[in-house]
Amino acid sequence: MKKLLLISLILILGVSGFSVAISVGIGFNLDMSSGSVVTPFFLNFAAGIPLIQGVIHSYLFSFNWSSLVVKGFSIPEHTYLGVQTRIPVYKSLYVKGQLFWSLNHIFAVAGGDRAIAGTPLYSRIGFGSYFSRVGLDAGFDGYWQLDPRSTVPFARPYISVDYAF
């Protein structure tokens, strides 16, 4: 019975298009508080079916165009776990939604150092397209936090270009 269940699960995932993708990219974000453009470089790992995927998103470093400063990131402190959905609209064009939680915050909640209500849930909504292995996304990102109440769900515009391996 267990073998039949396992074979059925593998067939269902195979038919539905289960995939794993690793991509590197560059983004262009408008920092609403300072008005400066920040360019983060990131590494992204996604696994799942096209409609819903688990994601590990890690920022490596960024460049601030206003101050001409390169800022390196600690990978554990700037890695996010989450889910994303890509809904096809027309040919290679899709609408994308993402929810992320900081890995650093997950460990703080698990260790009892931080309450779930005081931990921001990052969100992103936008659209994009892939041209061969190069992807282009654009939209808005922000965060949701319950305590203290601070909700800026889709406040910061972004554009990102990535290359999938």
Report d(CA 109, CA 93) in Å as an integer: 37
Q: In this structure, what token pair is assigned to residue 143?
A: 């965060």
Residues of the chain falling short of pLDDT 50: none
pLDDT score recorded for residue 8: 64
Residues 125, 138 contacting (CB under 8 angstroms): no
pLDDT score recorded for residue 6: 63
Report d(CA 45, CA 40) in Å as an integer: 16
pLDDT score recorded for residue 10: 63
Residue 9 contacts by C-beta under 8 Å, 6 or more apart in sequence? none
User: What is the pTM (predicted TM-score) of this model?
Assistant: 0.81
pLDDT in tens, 6-35: 666 665 655 567 888 899 999 998 877 778
Q: What is the dihedral of CA 97, 41, 103, 57, to 10 degrees?
A: 40
